[in-house]
């Protein structure tokens, strides 16, 4: 595991961001942490696009929160299930509706799916299925916010921004249903 730190811009309340690599069955993931919690978790190909709330990289000592996440990721890829609920999230930049959508998405049980429309209903606005889709597309905390469990009205797979796209989404759903 590699750890790095990055100074944050003025729009963030944390003093430093910490990044850590996590090896998974689908490739390397990188988590970014602030004082508030997990800011992002993406496959490495995705971390260059604003997932670092600060800037440059500097080595730092191990962060126990990242170690806890690493343990949960190993458990997830070994069994298809892991308890990510104890992972605190940095919700800065999220609207109240997006925050509610993500809370409801985190409540979707592993091995099950819900439609964008159903997730909108659970979040308090049954007419906001497109807004839910947009929130899922902007999800910067993959797996912890399990956007792969959200499907189209007919139950089909639609959109997944992680490397591998829909194949990765299907892999995760299959892993959870074993």
Helix, coil or strand: residue 108: coil
Q: Where are the beta strands (DSSP E) in 90-170?
A: 114-115, 150-151
> How do the domains of the chain map onto residue ranges?
3-79, 96-177
pLDDT mean over 92-102 = 95
| Per-residue pLDDT, 9 | 41
Quick one: CA dihedral 160, 178, 71, 114, positive or negative? positive
**Which carries the bigger pLDDT value, residue 170 or residue 9?**
170
Q: Which two tokens stand for residue 100?
A: 């509610």
The answer, yes or no, to whether residue 14 has pLDDT greater than 60, is no
**pLDDT band for position 12 (cuts 50, 70, 90):** very low
Q: pLDDT for 155-176, tens place per residue?
A: 777 777 777 778 888 999 999 9
Tell which wins on pLDDT, 88 or 62: 88
Higher pLDDT, 51 or 65: 65
Give the per-residue pLDDT at 168. Answer: 85
Give the span between the Cα atoms of 126 and 115, in whole angstroms: 11
Biggest CA pair distance of the chain: 47
Find the range with the poorest average confidence among 42-51, 64-73, 90-99, 164-173: 42-51
Q: Is the pLDDT of residue 52 over 60?
A: no
What pLDDT, on a 0 to 100 scale, did the predictor assign at position 16? 53
Can you tell me the distance from the alpha carbon of 4 to that of 138, in angstroms, rounded to the nearest whole number? 24
Residue 7 CA to chain centroid, in angstroms?
A: 22
Contact residues for 121 (Cβ-Cβ < 8 A; gap 6+): none
Asked whether 155 and 115 are in contact (CB, 8 A), the reply is: yes
User: CB atoms < 10 A from the CB of 132, how many?
Assistant: 27
| Per-residue pLDDT at 56 | 46
Phi, psi of 167 (to 5 degrees): -65, -40
User: Confidence band (pLDDT; 50, 70, 90) for 63?
Assistant: confident
More confident residue, 53 or 79: 79
| The model's pTM | 0.80
User: Which residues participate in catalysis according to the annotation?
Assistant: 147
SS3 29: strand
Band of pLDDT at residue 18, cut at 50, 70 and 90: confident
Fold held by 96-177: Arc Repressor Mutant, subunit A (1.10.10)
> Residue 98: pLDDT above 70?
yes
Collapsing DSSP to helix, strand or coil, 54 comes out as coil
């Amino acid at each position: 595991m590699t750890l790095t730190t990055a100074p944050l811009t003025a729009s963030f309340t944390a003093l430093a961001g910490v990044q850590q690599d996590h090896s998974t069955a689908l490739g390397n993931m990188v988590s970014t942490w602030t004082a508030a919690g997990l800011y992002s978790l993406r496959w490495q190909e995705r971390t260059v696009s604003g997932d670092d709330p600060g800037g440059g990289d500097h080595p730092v000592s191990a962060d126990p929160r990242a170690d806890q996440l690493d343990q949960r990721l190993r458990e997830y890829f070994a069994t298809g299930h892991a308890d990510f609920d104890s992972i605190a999230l940095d919700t800065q930049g999220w609207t109240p509706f997006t925050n509610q959508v993500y809370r409801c998405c985190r409540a979707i049980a592993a091995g099950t799916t819900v439609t964008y429309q159903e997730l909108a209903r659970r979040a308090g606005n049954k007419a906001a299925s497109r807004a839910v889709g947009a929130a899922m597309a902007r999800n910067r905390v993959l797996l912890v916010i399990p956007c792969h469990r959200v499907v189209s009205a007919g139950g089909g797979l639609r959109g997944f921004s992680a490397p591998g796209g829909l194949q990765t989404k299907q892999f995760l759903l299959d892993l959870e249903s074993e």
